[in-house]
């Protein structure tokens, strides 16, 4: 039974317990009648406020904070006491608040996680729980979990292995599922799989909250992951496992093992690939070129590069090219130089993109030999796209496509200002972080942010409504194409490669609709297909209001 929109049963919290329940708490928005009935009289000041009035106070608090890290801490504290007001604030101005709860601020928050810790907002599963992980997962109060985001903290952004401090990423990712795409927060679960850390500084930090031991060997880790995966199937049947920020070799190996067996995806690999592909589609619309004619050079040959390359190949195959033909126009360059056939100790995935060119350990020389039309940085090497690199790309191409995708900002291969200045305004540029507009020779350039937040919330929304059995490469291609299609002709004229963040919910619903249409078409969805898919999706969106 409900009265005044508040669930009323024997188990419903009252008094202080209700004010400490972030899902049910309304703070000063409780009416006088609700305060009498729920034991709140005397526990709140007299005024009864609307949620918008409460949000005004939140924004005033945020305006007084001296840094985005302090704003992050305040917002996380708000999330822990009033979930509805937290999401109301984020969804009111995504341009302003997404960089605080997600990149770039979340990187700094992760580095200081043990020092700013307020309370658990997810689950910490340690390797010492081996043999009873399912039992531990049952401690989570909600069983209808549709997406579980799990990280080992093994490769957080460009920060490396930060172990249990990486919990800020699963928390932030799932908050964006809700803030960007309206996925109900009750069905989302952040998990940190604490396997230890190789980071000596953290192990010596008295406030570090994770296991103070080295990560296990691959075999032990794989056994732990297998138990975890099976425990999720048992405790949260039908749940999608979103793998996030695992060490590169672990990420590829685990995705290869499970992507065709269970309902899962890896955002660092597949989400990055999808948003990268979206930016390339838009850039090629601007240059009026075909993807099949492009030559793509990656700086970096890890999981992100492999993921983007694989998705490009999948899309080219759908257009009639063979895998060999599709891979011919893709080259990679890492710390050992150009990936070519004489190189030793290449992974199986890297070998697929090994070129027949002569060895080179110089990026500019490689550009001169390979003559790429597209240069993509996924290296976390700050400043790797030097003036010489950008100018060489600009000599080869009238409109060089340059993506510096590493984040946080301190790890970006170049800045937007550098890309535009050194290319004399001809570059089509995107980064993994949002750089400010650049004014050059009286013209304003709007750098794109090739950030996964254009993709994974829509994937989450599609997952929530359609209950699919799998997420395939086709789903990520559909997400990329839908994202690119939402960049208007006027925006492309300004050099923009991605839709405006200001209309993020609209963008995500449009993308999710395309994904869900594909899921029904391919027989992946496990629910009955509605007549109007978009209206059906919109009817299930989370709305940050106190009314039921």
The pLDDT tens digits for 113-133 are: 889 888 878 999 999 999 999
Question: Which residues are part of the catalytic machinery?
Answer: 102, 173
Each residue's pLDDT tens digit, 189-241: 999 999 999 999 999 999 999 999 999 999 999 999 999 999 999 999 999 99
Q: Nearest-CA neighbor of 72 among 29, 113, 41, 106?
A: 106
Q: Nearest-CA neighbor of 212 among 222, 201, 223?
A: 201
Identical fold at 105-262 and 270-451?
yes
CATH code for the domain defined by 105-262 = 3.40.50.10380
Neighbours of 288 (CB within 10 A): 7
Sign for the pseudo-dihedral over CA of 227, 106, 174, 480: negative
Q: Nearest-CA neighbor of 58 among 32, 99, 34, 28?
A: 28
Burial class (CB in 10 A: 0-12, 13-18, 19+), 484: buried
Each residue's pLDDT tens digit, 57-86: 999 999 999 999 999 999 999 999 999 999
Beta bridge partners of 299: 333, 377
Half-sphere exposure of 507 (CA within 13 A, CB side): 25
Cα 372 to chain center, whole Å? 28
**Is the model's pTM score more than 0.85?**
yes
pLDDT < 50 positions in the chain: 1-6
Contact 428, 148 (CB under 8 A): no
**Rounded distance between C-alpha atoms, residue 329 and residue 316, angstroms:** 11
- Report the b/e string of 151-171 with b at 16+ CB within 10 A: bbbbbbbbbebbbbbbbbbbb
CATH code for the domain defined by 270-451 = 3.40.50.720
For strand 401-404 and strand 374-377, is the pairing parallel, antiparallel, or unpaired?
parallel
Rg (CA), the chain: 24
pLDDT score of 4: 46
Residue by residue, what is the 3-state secondary structure of 500-531?
CHHHHHHHHHHHHHHHHHHHHHCCCCCCCCCC
Beta bridge partners of 375: 297, 402
Contact 431, 405 (CB under 8 A): yes
Q: Domain 454-538 in CATH: superfamily? A: Malic enzyme, N-terminal domain (3.40.50.10380)
Q: Where are the domains of the chain?
A: 1-49, 105-262, 270-451, 454-538
Task: Specify the fold of 1-49.
Answer: Hemocyanin, N-terminal domain (1.20.1370)
**Rounded distance between C-alpha atoms, residue 90 and residue 79, angstroms:** 11
Q: Nearest-CA neighbor of 174 among 86, 251, 259?
A: 86
pLDDT score of 11: 66
**Rounded distance between C-alpha atoms, residue 323 and residue 312, angstroms:** 10
């Amino acid at each position: 039974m409900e009265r005044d929109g508040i669930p009323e049963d024997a188990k419903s919290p009252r008094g202080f317990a209700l004010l400490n329940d972030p899902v049910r708490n309304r703070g000063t928005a409780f009416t006088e009648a609700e305060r009498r009935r729920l034991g709140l009289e005397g526990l709140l000041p007299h005024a009864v406020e609307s949620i918008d009035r409460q949000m005004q106070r939140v924004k005033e608090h945020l305006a007084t904070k001296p840094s985005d890290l302090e704003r992050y801490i305040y917002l996380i504290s708000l999330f822990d006491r009033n979930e509805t007001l937290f999401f109301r604030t984020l969804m009111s101005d995504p341009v302003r608040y997404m960089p605080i709860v997600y990149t770039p601020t979340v990187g700094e928050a992760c580095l200081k996680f043990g020092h700013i810790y307020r309370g658990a907002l997810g689950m910490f599963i340690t390797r010492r729980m081996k043999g009873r992980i399912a039992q531990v997962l049952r401690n989570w109060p909600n069983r209808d979990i549709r997406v579980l985001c799990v990280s080992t903290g093994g490769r957080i952004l460009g920060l490396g292995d930060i172990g249990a401090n990486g919990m800020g990423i699963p928390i932030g990712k799932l908050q964006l599922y809700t803030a960007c795409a309206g996925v109900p927060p009750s069905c989302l679960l952040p998990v940190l799989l604490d396997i230890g850390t190789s980071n000596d500084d953290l192990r010596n930090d008295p406030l570090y909250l994770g296991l103070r031991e080295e990560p296990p060997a691959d075999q032990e880790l794989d056994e732990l992951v297998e138990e975890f995966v099976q425990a999720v199937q048992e405790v949260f049947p039908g749940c999608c496992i979103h793998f996030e920020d695992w060490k590169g070799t672990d990420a590829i190996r685990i995705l290869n093992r499970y992507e065709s067996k269970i309902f899962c995806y890896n955002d660092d690999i597949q989400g990055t690939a999808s948003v990268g592909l979206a930016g390339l589609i838009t850039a090629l619309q601007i240059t009026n070129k075909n993807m099949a004619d492009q030559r793509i050079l990656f700086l970096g040959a890890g999981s992100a590069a492999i993921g983007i390359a694989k998705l490009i190949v999948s899309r080219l195959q759908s257009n009639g090219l063979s895998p060999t033909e599709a891979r011919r126009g893709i080259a990679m360059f890492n710390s050992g130089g150009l990936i070519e056939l004489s190189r030793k100790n290449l992974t199986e995935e890297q070998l697929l993109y090994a070129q027949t060119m002569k060895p080179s350990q110089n990026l500019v020389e490689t550009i001169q030999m390979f003559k790429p039309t597209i240069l993509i940085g996924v290296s976390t090497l700050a400043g790797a796209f030097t003036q010489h690199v950008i100018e060489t790309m600009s000599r080869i191409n009238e409109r060089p496509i340059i993506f510096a995708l590493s984040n946080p900002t301190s790890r970006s291969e170049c800045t937007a200002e550098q890309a535009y200045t050194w290319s004399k305004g001809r570059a089509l540029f995107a980064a993994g972080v949002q750089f400010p507009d650049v004014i050059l020779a009286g013209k304003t350039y709007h750098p794109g942010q090739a950030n996964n937040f254009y993709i994974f919330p829509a994937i989450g929304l599609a997952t929530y409504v359609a209950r699919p059995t799998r997420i395939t490469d086709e789903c990520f291609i559909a997400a990329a194409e839908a994202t690119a299609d939402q960049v208007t002709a006027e925006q492309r004229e300004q050099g923009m490669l991605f839709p405006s963040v200001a209309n993020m919910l609209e963008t995500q619903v449009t993308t999710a609709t395309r994904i869900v249409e594909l899921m029904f078409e391919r027989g992946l969805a496990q629910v009955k297909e509605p007549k109007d898919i978009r209206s059906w999706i919109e009817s299930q969106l989370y709305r940050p209001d106190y009314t039921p």
